[in-house]
Amino acid sequence: MFALKIMSKREKKIVILTIFQIIFILSSSSSNVINVNSEINQQLAHLVFKTSGGGVRPDYGLYIASYLNDIGIDVQVKVEEWPVFINTILVTHDFDLGFIGLSGGGASPDMRDIYTEDGSLNIFQLGPEIPYNDQSEQMQEVGVTITDLEERQQLYYDWQQLMMDKIVPILPFFSPRSYVATWANTEGYDSRWGITDSLPYMEYDGYHEGQESLIEFNLADANWRELNPLFTDDTSSSFIWGLMAEPIVQYSPDLAPLKTGLVEDWKQIDEFHYKFTMRDDVYWNPSYNVTGRAASSDPLSSIPTGELMLGLKYGEYSDGTNQQVTAKDAVFTYLLWSNPTISESTTFHYWISECYVDPVNPLQFHVLIDGNPDTPEVEQYADFWARLPWDILPEFFLNSTDPTVTYTDGGIECVGLYPLMLNTPEWATFSTSAFGCGKYMLDYYIKNSVTVLQKSPHWFGVGAIDGAVQDLNIQSINVRIIPDSSAELAEFKAGKLDWTGLTAFPAERKIMQADPRFNVQTFITASLSFMFFNLRRPFIGGGYNAEYIPEPGKTQYTRAVGIRKAICYAIDRDEINQQLHDGEYFLAHSVLYPFTAYYYYNDIIKYNYNPVLAEEWLRAALGLPFYSIEIENQYLTSEDILVTIDCTSGPGITDCVLKYTINGGSQETVSMLEEAEDVFTCGISKTFQENVTISFFIEMTNKYDEVHLTDTSEFISNTTELIVTSTPTIPTTTTNPTTVVSHSSTIFILYSIAMLVILSIYKRKKRN
């Protein structure tokens, strides 16, 4: 105490405060509580994930396996060749989880081929044994009968929510994006609407590098093969025809019908009968025969009337002003497509039971619907809206006077359509010198070189996007034949092209996105990838499909759904997107293609990465309680060891029993007393020598008479050691100890601090 005598009052105050702080810390740590909290670390199940090779699907599997391991689910990833994989998911069903991508759909919300028991792509094994499946199938059947667009949209919204909340057959992953580029001086182009519908709004604001004309639009494609849309099977041919044609009913990128095209209005007569009114003052472009034309040929307008192509029916031609587009052309188009004598794709229009021109108004036509022509009852087919935007064809040119009678798939009698008409000169010439009533006319084409189209002075001048009167600032379209995409990109960068696709060139695209000379746009493709569940397999389905979760707030969900929800929440799709796709894929959340924008429900339940919810659902589904354990007085040899378990955040616990051994001896049991609701405590009434090993676990019984065990914890008396070992019981929970400093160690450390403070003051005083 000599040092205190030479201290100032201020220094004495510092030392006294230090001592008081030591006393406070010691008193507050006298119980020396060890906290043990429940986590899910053990393997609760072993699942098999299968997918096909190629691309990144195997990588998806490895990521999924890693995420699910975090919640105690072991996943074995197996990659199969495509034919084997198809046999696996459709025949043997020898898998728990799978991964697949679908593309080419999305034009309709009707997904019965995938999400019904009898669907040809029912890879989930949906059936009446799956809760809520009957309701899902009923909603889907009703969906194809509702013709009111808003009512139908709402039904599909409700169906998607049901599927993703109460059934959970999939975890949607991604829809890839396509990227296209124009030069920054190109105004009015909208990638969602595409080139054809954007053209009335497009113009140039000055020249870009390498550009030679402000009235031409230059792009590249492959050679087209067939311009008659009835026989077109390649996108290059469809693009050229689309520039010359107009759809009967205009369709938006959101897949909703519009009144901005040839049809400007419609009326529902009854449940199965619609009347459509066409726009007046629309005329067919001249029936030019462009065979043999070249860049050096005279302008199209100089072709004399006598050289125009004559139609099959009455030998008539079109000069752009004499053949009006009327309802008979629309009726003729639909009958062509649905007649197996002519069409190779009759399934698109089998539902048309009658189609005829209004007897009073030649600009109106009627469509009657029967969704199943093989039954005597008239059935609805709501998806007819998606089958109406077919490009109109010239009846005066392609029809005939032949008396042959044929029938459509819907049973409509047709006169004038006969098999040999496909071999007539008129039909043969139309395949290479087609004409429509659209924005542009075919001027000339040189195979392997270029196809050139010229602005039509006869186009009716209404923009599809907004229905407003528009003009065409682009006079000519030059489609250069450049099959190699790298060569196309090089030509675009040199300024010789005004538009190019960039999806295949992510590095170049990123450079262009940062370059103010270019405008890069993106749109979602008609494809969807997803992880899917085999609903008949144990753990994720099987018997758990029939057992409902007893926990309040979750009683409408089966244990199987709870586990599937947990799996979905445990997978970080955003991270996968970042790691494998630079974060550029569209993250989907529904069973529908996001491409089906009008019906895609974006406010649906979303399984964004959430490990807390993953554990919550997994515990609820398996009845695993949340708990925390406090161990007190374990460092003392003269007081009872107190053990408290708190289960207040889990399912109600009705009984707890502590089971323990000392130094590996016989197991002893102590009933724990309920101190508060779901909080139990007990003491181990023993006195221990130092370094005695005590092992214990707690057996909990919840109000549903389900018994669960904590993991076995071991600690050594009068030391800081806490060892956690596992029990063989599954399902179970494990314990994670917090770092604990022993009572004796705490005293020593704080005492040392106090002595150092005093010593430093003493030395300073002595020097002075």
pLDDT the model gives residue 33: 54
Ramachandran bin of 118, using left for φ above 0, alpha for ψ from -120 to 50, beta for the remaining angles: alpha
Q: 134 or 633: whose pLDDT is higher? A: 134
For 725-741, what is the mean pLDDT? 32
Q: How far apart are CA 580 and CA 59, in angstroms?
A: 8
CA distances 511 to 144, 181, 207, 502, Å, are 46, 12, 21, 11
> What length does the chain have?
768
pLDDT the model gives residue 650: 59
pLDDT tens digit sequence for 186-219? 999 999 999 999 999 999 999 999 999 999 999 9
Record the pTM: 0.72
CA dihedral of 105, 175, 259, 236, whole degrees rounded to 10: -70
17 φ, ψ (degrees, to nearest 5): -65, -40
C-alpha closest to that of 183 among 217, 234, 232, 141: 217
Q: Which two structure tokens, joined as six digits, stand for 148?
A: 């009111």
**How far does Cα 417 stand from its chain's mean position?**
44
pLDDT the model gives residue 530: 97
For 342-356, what is the mean pLDDT? 90
Q: Say whether pLDDT at 661 is over 90.
A: no
Cis peptide before 731 (omega within 30 of 0): yes
Burial label for 24, CB within 10 Å (0-12, 13-18, 19+), is exposed
Q: 4 or 621: whose pLDDT is higher? A: 621
Residue 184: CA count within 13 A, CB half-sphere: 8
pLDDT tens digit sequence for 480-514? 999 999 999 999 999 999 999 999 999 999 999 99
DSSP character for 325?
Answer: -
Q: 687 or 263: whose pLDDT is higher? A: 263
Average pLDDT value for the chain: 86
Reported confidence tier of residue 753, pLDDT bands at 50, 70, 90: very low
Q: Say whether pLDDT at 23 is over 70.
A: no
Reported confidence tier of residue 630, pLDDT bands at 50, 70, 90: confident
pLDDT the model gives residue 303: 94
How many percent of the chain have pLDDT more than 90? 67
CA dihedral of 685, 688, 692, 693, whole degrees rounded to 10: 10
Q: Say whether pLDDT at 461 is over 80.
A: yes
pLDDT the model gives residue 34: 57
Q: How far apart are CA 627 and CA 708, in angstroms?
A: 11
Q: Say whether pLDDT at 426 is over 80.
A: yes
Q: 685 or 725: whose pLDDT is higher? A: 685
